[in-house]
């Protein structure tokens, strides 16, 4: 198969490939830089399949690494730029990375890392001294990247995605939305996360343009949408909420923006409404996925037309090339409307976790990726997620899905951010607890009363902690519920351990 | 991967799947019939991989065979319904078909054919007495069908297409145009030809609707477009010319028709202009392909915006998953603007010709399918075909592409149909000869004068035969230039043979 970059060169060598600050590159220039990057890596005498890590803010050099490293026969390892030194060192060592592209490498580098190159002028120096290398390593079964998950969940694992996985995902995206030479894709989410690179191959394939936002800020995003006439993007929910608020306060000319996708975390219907009100000309597309599925699993096109429908709470229908099944604990498929674990099969599913045979065996069962998400399908294949399997709260013998309680809280106009989880309770086993950051003054009593009108009594938070500072978030802007939950259980675990 | 039918059932079991005369089937009903068809074939004790042939006009039963036979583990063999008994018998024997679905089977059936079922009530009787069989044979490398080519070219060959080939083609189509649950695809071209089934898998995948035109007639097609609110279709050029003429004379309400693709034969810019004038709201899409490439090779979306551009004569840019190269006779790639043979590589390329090792070796060279078409690429990857390799005329030492001369003739308002080819000439080796069917009175002299204004002297036909009856066409409505050329060369060959 023709690689996306090869096709972009054929059909749009002179098209603008990337806009990043003052830098503007055509596909011919981008491909030239990618080939010199390949040549530079070859000159380091790396073995085929060597791991090349990158950590830093979004920039055109990140895009070049994303396109060049796998095609040159190496394995890309994008690392969470917000991770601590210890976390970065862990991932570098786990991956056995030979090269690290980073302007701020961890102080203590694992011994495997032989070369460190900054994502700044030193990157240009490297390219300047290189001859061109080949970009022809595109075997579909070959490993293209290790994508470290973690942030909201336990220990970091390297998700192994092949070229075929990434290509299948791009095809699934293109089968939903038209990508054309006139497409101008805003890279808004961080590129170490699947949400940041989800549109890259589709945009390259169409010889469209990437407009890169180095770090997310709502006003900056809107300024770029206006000045660069952005047509397509993906926001994670917290970003969509922020740009919608900003656009409502200080409207820009955003009529070029016809396609807004969102994903990476559950979204409240209220956030969708605000998004639609702020960008009335744009189609909203809900994308549900996981790093392990490269990432698209389900899609809800024309979601803006579903806002008054129960399906506004769905994350859509399986993408064209994705097989989805709701699995009971015995492995059988659950019928319509029955909650079970979301399982995914298809050419987009990872080959496994790097060096983690046990976790791989647990995650890939008979070719199905077991997502750990609980959900059900309706009669037209719309997937409704109810919770992460491990975020489900068992209180007084009842199952409570934290997401449902969060949705109820978000329906209150005062609620800006909310996180719901179980805390130890002598009476209930677990008690439903909420942490809320309000956008305007509100009391615990008001929120409890509000929730009682929407959800069953046993689901209503037993306690609500109202805070003024923003909730802690991962680099991909997901709320770190783990960190919020942890203090409540630490004491308990200490007690259990010491009992 | 989820099969298209499996996905349609999941997301649109109650959607209308097919409209054919008085018959309307939902996806649930269609899938039920496909499963009973699978059960019926199983009950015939066919071996896995057995060939199941079909010959007849377009109908919902043809669609059921197309979807069910490969998924049940057998190989579909669609046969040209206009072939003579001798041609049908040849293909049935070559394929070793065990079953033939046809209402008019050839009188002398090859011995391999054990079962004949009509595409009428006897089909219903077969289904009525069957239990449901599985439709789970979707291994991407397994043979899905033998598609017999021939009609415009020499001896008929069975093109072997795998499930993966057909799926890759559907993905390439979906990556160009949006297929949605609201898509209503008019099956206008005959279903034994790739042009007739090109939209099937994409439409099923989206749980859209097939509106089936049993046999082509311009007024019937337009009536269906109006009454069934057709949104997408493909016409071969002669069909597009006919519906455009009919719509101009007797306009229907055709605003639902937003996507018109055309393919299967070269098209004159004048035909495109008339098509655009008749259907101003529709996007025109040029599709170039071959049975051997399942079939899409290049696509020219928004072709209606190119009518005043030299690119209106192009057949577009390579589809997303298709690699295209212009090969010189030494096998190297020709640069931009240089004419060579069009070669195609990708997951859509056939695995070979059935039982024809020599022809397969000739056609598949280092993974490239050598199409036999001559063409060049411009600087943005637009493919311009100049001729079939064997239709090129060598006259007085000059190469003349018959398509260029035809294009010149079509630019004259009186020309309805035209075919240009070389005939034996003592002086020139070959002389350029044209056969023209006019739509209004015109003389040979007028046409020659007209051509002289457009093309070089040596390309202008030395002789023009003006006929009143339509030119002979294949079942897929391609002009049978072979039949037109043959009488001129027969005499010559007789002479050569007897000299």
| For residue B183, pLDDT beyond 60 | yes
Rounded Cα distance, A77 and A14, in Å: 30
Burial (CB count within 10 angstroms: exposed 0-12, middle 13-18, buried 19+), residue A497: exposed
Q: Helical H runs in B159-217?
A: 163-174, 194-197, 200-205
Q: What does the pLDDT profile of chain A (499 residues) look like in tens digits? A: 558 999 999 999 999 999 999 999 999 999 999 999 999 999 999 999 999 999 999 999 999 999 999 999 999 999 988 777 888 999 999 999 999 999 999 988 999 999 999 999 999 999 999 999 999 988 899 999 999 986 444 468 999 999 999 999 999 999 999 999 999 999 999 999 999 999 999 999 999 999 999 999 999 999 999 999 999 999 998 899 999 999 999 999 999 999 999 998 778 888 899 999 999 999 999 999 999 999 999 999 999 999 999 999 899 999 999 999 999 989 999 999 999 999 999 999 999 999 999 999 999 999 999 998 989 999 999 999 887 777 778 787 777 888 889 988 999 999 999 999 999 887 777 899 999 999 999 999 999 999 998 888 888 999 999 999 989 887 666 788 878 888 887 755 444 333 3
B149 close to B157: Cβ distance less than 8 angstroms: yes
Residues A269 and A397 in one domain: no
Residues in chain A, overall count: 499
CA A276/CA B394 separation, integer angstroms = 63
Q: How many angstroms separate the CA atoms of A133 and A411, rounded?
A: 55
Q: In what order do the strands lie in the sheet with B75-79?
A: B115-117, B97-102, B51-55, B75-79, B143-149, B157-162, B352-353
d(CA A227, CA A379): 43
The CATH number of the domain holding residue B57 is 3.40.50.12780
Structure tokens at A105: 């490498």
More confident residue, A103 or B391: A103
**Which residue has 């690119």 as its token pair?**
B311
Q: Which of A140, A173, A175 has the most B C-beta neighbours within 10 Å, making it the best mutation to test the interface with B?
A: A175
Which residue on chain B is closest to A2 by alpha carbon?
B323
A439 and A335 belong to one structural domain:
no
Q: Determine contact, residues A247/A266, Cβ cutoff 8 Å.
A: no
Candidate from A6, A12, A171 with C-beta closest to B380? A12
Q: Which of B352, B383, B414 is the last residue of a domain?
A: B383
B7 CB within 8 Å of a chain A CB: yes
Same domain, B360 and B265: yes
In this prediction the pTM is 0.85
Residue B147 structure tokens: 């598609």
Whether A138 and A70 share a structural domain = yes
Q: What is the enclosing helix (H) or strand (E) of A90? A: helix A85-95
Q: Is the peptide bond before B311 cis (omega within 30 degrees of 0)?
A: no
Cβ–Cβ < 8 Å for A191, A62 = yes
Shortest distance, CA A222 to any CA of chain B (angstroms): 28
Cβ distance of A317 and B11 shorter than 8 Å:
yes
- Chain B closest CA to A223's CA: distance in Å? 30
Task: Tell me: do B403 and B259 sit in the same domain.
Answer: no
Contact A11 B318 (CB under 8 A): yes
Distance CA A83, CA A106 (A): 10
Same-domain status, A355 and A211 = yes
A379 interfaces chain B, CB cutoff of 8 Å? yes
Mean pLDDT of B286-298: 96
Q: Within this chain, do residues A138 and A170 fall inside the same structural domain, yes or no?
A: yes
Section B210-221 average pLDDT: 97
A195 and A275 part of one domain? yes
The total number of structural domains in chain B stands at: 2
Which residues in chain B have their CB less than 8 angstroms from residue A381's CB? 7, 10-12
Query: Are B318 and A10 inside 8 Å of each other by CB?
Result: yes
Q: Which residues in A lie closer than 8 A to residue B377 (C-beta atoms)?
A: 10
Q: Among partner residues A13, A174, A346, which is closest to B1 by beta-carbon distance? A: A346
- HSE at residue A361, side-chain half, CA atoms within 13 A, is 3
Q: Residue B426: which pLDDT band, with cuts at 50, 70 and 90? A: confident
Same domain, A31 and A65: yes
Picking from B476, B474, B479, the residue whose alpha carbon sits closest to that of residue B409 is B479
Q: Which residue has the tokens 């979906």?
A: B174
Instruction: Determine the distance from the C-alpha atom of residue B479 to the mean position of all C-alpha atoms in its chain, rounded to a whole number.
Output: 13
Q: Report DSSP letters for B267-298, one per residue.
A: --HHHHHHHHHH-TTSEEEEEEE-GGGSSEEE
**Residue from B1, B163, B314, B326 whose CB has the most chain A CBs within 10 Å, to mutate:** B1
Question: Domain boundary residue among A339, A361, A383?
Answer: A383
Give the integer Cα–Cα distance in Å for B86 and B106.
8
Residues B250 and B353 in one domain: yes
* Beta pairing, strands A51-55 & A75-79: parallel
d(CA B54, CA A333): 36
Give the Cα-Cα-Cα angle B426, B431, B433 (nearest 5 degrees). 135
How many whole angstroms separate alpha carbon B446 and alpha carbon A195? 64
CA distance A265 to A275: 15
List, for residues B43-94, the tens digit of each pLDDT value.
Answer: 999 999 999 999 999 999 999 999 999 999 999 999 988 777 888 999 999 9
Radius of gyration of chain A (CA): 23
Q: What is the ipTM of this complex?
A: 0.83
| Structure tokens, B98 | 């065990």
Angle at Cα B104 formed by Cα B100 and Cα B109, nearest 5°? 55
Residue A205, helix vs strand vs coil: helix
Contact between A295 and A169 under an 8 Å Cβ cutoff? The reply is: yes
Length of chain B: 499
- The backbone torsions φ and ψ at residue A36, rounded to the nearest 5 degrees and listed phi first, read -70, -30
Q: Are A383 and A342 in contact (CB under 8 A)?
A: yes
Same domain (yes/no): B407, B360? no
Compute the distance between CA of residue B172 and CA of residue B318 in angstroms, rounded to an integer.
10
The residue segments making up the domain with residue B86 are: 4-383
Domain CATH for A409: 3.30.300.30
Q: Does A322 touch chain B (CB under 8 A)?
A: yes
Structure tokens at A60: 């055109």
Pair A298, A262: CB distance under 8 Å: no
Same domain, A341 and A416: no
Q: Hey, how many other C-beta atoms are within 10 angstroms of the C-beta on A445? A: 9
For residue B360, pLDDT beyond 70: yes
Query: How do residues B114-124 score in pLDDT, each as one tens digit?
Result: 999 999 999 99
Q: What is the largest CA-CA distance in chain B?
A: 70
Task: Supply the DSSP symbol for A472.
Answer: P
The dihedral of CA B408, B410, B414, B418: what is its sign? positive
Alpha-carbon distance A298 to nearest alpha carbon in chain B (angstroms) = 11
Given A383, A402, A423, the domain boundary residue is A383
Which residue is it, tokens 């009100």?
Answer: A277
Euclidean distance between CA atoms B420 and B392, whole angstroms = 10
């Amino acid at each position: 198969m023709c690689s996306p970059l090869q096709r972009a060169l054929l059909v749009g060598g002179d098209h603008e490939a990337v806009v990043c600050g003052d830098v503007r590159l055509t596909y011919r220039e981008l491909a030239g830089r990618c080939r010199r990057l390949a040549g530079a890596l070859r000159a380091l005498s790396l073995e085929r399949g060597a791991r090349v890590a990158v950590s830093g803010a979004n920039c055109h050099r990140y895009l070049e690494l994303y396109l060049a490293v796998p095609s040159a026969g190496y394995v890309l390892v994008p690392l969470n730029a917000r991770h601590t030194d210890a976390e970065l060192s862990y991932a570098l060592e786990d991956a056995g990375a030979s090269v690290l592209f980073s302007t701020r490498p961890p102080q203590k580098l694992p011994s495997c890392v032989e070369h460190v190159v900054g994502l700044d002028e030193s990157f240009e120096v490297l390219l300047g001294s290189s001859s061109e290398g080949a970009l022809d390593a595109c075997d579909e079964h070959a490993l293209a990247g290790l994508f470290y998950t973690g942030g909201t969940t336990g220990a970091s694992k390297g998700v192994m995605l092949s070229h075929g996985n990434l290509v299948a995902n791009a095809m699934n995206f293109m089968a939903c939305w038209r990508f054309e030479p006139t497409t101008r894709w805003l890279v808004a989410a961080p590129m170490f996360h699947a949400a940041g690179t989800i549109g890259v191959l589709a945009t390259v394939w169409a010889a469209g343009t990437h407009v890169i936002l180095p770090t997310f800020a709502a006003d900056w995003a809107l300024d770029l949408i206006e000045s660069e006439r952005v047509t397509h993007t993906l926001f994670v929910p917290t970003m969509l909420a922020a740009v919608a608020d900003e656009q409502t306060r200080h409207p820009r000319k955003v009529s070029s923006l016809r396609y807004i996708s969102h994903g990476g975390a559950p979204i409240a219907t209220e956030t969708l409404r605000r998004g639609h009100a702020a960008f009335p000309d744009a189609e909203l597309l809900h994308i549900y996925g996981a790093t392990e599925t490269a990432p698209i699993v389900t899609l809800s096109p024309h979601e803006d037309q579903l806002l008054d429908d129960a399906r506004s709470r769905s994350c859509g229908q399986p993408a064209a090339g994705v097989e989805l099944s709701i699995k009971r604990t015995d492995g059988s498929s659950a019928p319509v409307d029955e909650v079970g674990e979301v399982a995914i099969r298809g050419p987009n599913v990872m080959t496994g976790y790097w060096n983690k045979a046990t976790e791989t065996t647990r995650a890939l069962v008979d070719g199905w990726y077991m997502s750990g998400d609980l959900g059900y399908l309706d009669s037209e294949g719309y997937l409704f997620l109810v919770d992460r399997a491990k975020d489900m709260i068992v209180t007084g013998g009842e199952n409570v899905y934290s997401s449902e309680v969060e949705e109820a809280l978000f329906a209150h106009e005062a609620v800006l951010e909310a996180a719901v989880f179980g805390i130890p309770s002598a009476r209930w086993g677990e008690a439903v607890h909420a942490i809320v950051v309000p956008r305007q003054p509100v009391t615990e009593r008001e929120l409890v009363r509000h929730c009682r009108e929407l959800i069953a009594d046993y689901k209503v938070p037993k306690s609500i902690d109202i805070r003024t500072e923003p909730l802690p978030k991962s680099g991909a802007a997901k709320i770190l519920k783990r960190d919020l939950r942890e203090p409540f259980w630490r004491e308990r675990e200490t007690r259990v351990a010491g009992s």
